[in-house]
Structure 1
């Protein structure tokens, strides 16, 4: 049976596919919607004896990689920067020729595979990024409120908690009652942000506590930029590192295993 190697040139809406045989001859070209189910169906129908499928790193690479892997395809994700150096030597640079170039790289094995994080890792990262964005938006709104109040000679002061802030605002609005209705939408939005930040922080904390790495007897916690970070010792470092830079080695032994608000 003839063995085939496929390359996928991925874009936001469509993906160009090219399959070559062991001699490097193009066996099939096609284009389809960027969806792992459709891509897997096309490849299984056209190239039943696939040895390797190659795609570049990008915004959709994780989605396609795990989707194709779940459907039994031997998919490999390669570094886009390395692939660019190979594909740039082509006379005619296009999506069709890029797909063929990736297929040839899959055939020759001249590429560097990239480790793809699992779906749970991306879920944890999404939670952390969501919390980061909400905290940033919350802080921006608080600073805007402080600046607007100063226009009227009012100072919010060192109110660091929602309860202290609301008491201070109530006191300030008694001096300027006409401001209460003006600031009401911002105060309501801040309250909603704080409730959501508290909820997602609790979720992140539970996720961190469920991590098996946190159960190590030598683990400890530290605070950095308002976030509690849980560390535990990792495997021994090479002697060349520990002898050359002991202070760096002592920090490198710490492995971050979880976050909690």
Structure 2
């Protein structure tokens, strides 16, 4: 007899349900959200588990790694699939959700989510924190600009380095505004300093990483995009075909085909939005600012003439993801194409 387990995880407690291959509920309980407590409960049942499933969430990487280390067949499942499967239930409780997850494990109707390694998770924290500090600095810049407009003070064109000096010039004669604005500038200065510290950490890490160095041979790919791609893929062998990477990042069009209706929609935008935005920016840089010729750039420029530059950037971003995965698997370097150079010169 085969047994399947569903875990509905919350911050403090986890609902557990165990069903057999015929769909009969064998065990139900609630334990603290700790890997040791969950593992002890599963051992106490004395049942051989075929699959142990839990939805993707904030605690999922930690729980999955610990349960796998304890030799439990833990599987992280995609939240939209789980929601669609359990949407028919009339009463939503943690107990019912755990029961639904157990039945999903039994039927096999789920999409498994890759749980990143601890190393990749830590690098993601570094990238995310740097982005957070940058966003907060931009929020402060916008707040100060907006408040000064009320009094006719126009900031004009400034760089991040000259922004504070310009603001101080504008409020130089108003002691009351100085008392309100200067604390914001002080916080902004600390945000800039700490953002630079995290950015230097990223650059130092990328410099000593061979894979990121390989990615950066592609025109338009910088340290942030290279590291974001490496931490997203984590292990290149988890994608059997490189084309699947573009779909995983959400850069492939939606498909709707039913009866006489058959059309392609906008890109799915599923997966990692952070990496998708960086690949899109890298594609824009390749098509507009990079002088080095390549077959990919020629293809993208031709596509931009037929449709639009935005669509061309999306298409190039998808191809960049595919190419980067191929380079990682093969260890090859991106090379300039002489034929593409001749086409561009013409």
Contact 2:51 2:105 in 1 (8 A): yes
Aligned twin of 1:44: 43
**How many Å apart are 1:187 and its aligned residue?**
1.9
Provide the secondary structure at the position in 2 that maps to 1:222: coil
Q: Which stretch has the larger CA shift, 247-256 or 36-45?
A: 247-256
Whether 2:327 is the aligned partner of 1:254: answer no
Aligned twin of 2:34: 35
Contact 2:215 2:226 in 1 (8 A): no
Contact 2:7 2:101 in 1 (8 A): yes
Provide the secondary structure at the position in 2 that maps to 1:159: coil
1:128-143 aligned at under 5 Å gives the runs 128-143=127-142
Contact 1:21 1:27 in 2 (8 A): yes
Change over 3 Å in CA distance of 1:26–1:132 after alignment to 2:
same
Which structure has more RCO (C-alpha within 8 Å, separation ≥ 6)? 1
Query: How many Å separate the matches in 2 of 1:56 and 1:88?
Result: 15
Change over 3 Å in CA distance of 1:177–1:37 after alignment to 2:
same
Aligned residues, how many?
Answer: 247
Contact 1:221 1:230 in 2 (8 A): no
Aligned twin of 1:117: 116
Change over 3 Å in CA distance of 1:81–1:214 after alignment to 2:
closer
Aligned twin of 1:55: 54
TM-score, length of structure 1 as denominator length: 0.75
Contact 2:216 2:226 in 1 (8 A): no
Change over 3 Å in CA distance of 1:80–1:218 after alignment to 2:
closer
Contact 1:222 1:228 in 2 (8 A): no
| Partner deviation per Cα, 1:182-211 (whole Å, 9 max, x = no partner) | 432122111111101111111222233343
Query: How many Å separate the matches in 2 of 1:223 and 1:9?
Result: 40
Provide the secondary structure at the position in 2 that maps to 1:65: helix
Q: Which residues of structure 1 form unaligned runs of 5+?
A: none
| Partner deviation per Cα, 1:4-48 (whole Å, 9 max, x = no partner) | 321112233321111233444333211012222211121122235
Query: How many Å separate the matches in 2 of 1:15 and 1:32?
Result: 5
Aligned twin of 1:21: 20
Provide the secondary structure at the position in 2 that maps to 1:219: coil
Aligned twin of 1:214: 212
TM-score, length of structure 2 as denominator length: 0.59
Greater helix share, structure number: 2
**How many Å apart are 1:3 and its aligned residue?**
4.8
**How many Å apart are 1:230 and its aligned residue?**
4.4
Aligned twin of 2:254: none
Change over 3 Å in CA distance of 1:82–1:217 after alignment to 2:
closer
**How many Å apart are 1:152 and its aligned residue?**
4.5
Contact 1:87 1:98 in 2 (8 A): yes
Query: How many Å separate the matches in 1 of 2:103 and 2:37?
Result: 22
Q: Which residues of structure 2 form unaligned runs of 5+?
A: 230-235, 245-294, 301-311, 326-346
Contact 1:222 1:229 in 2 (8 A): no
Pairwise CA RMSD of aligned residues? 3.7
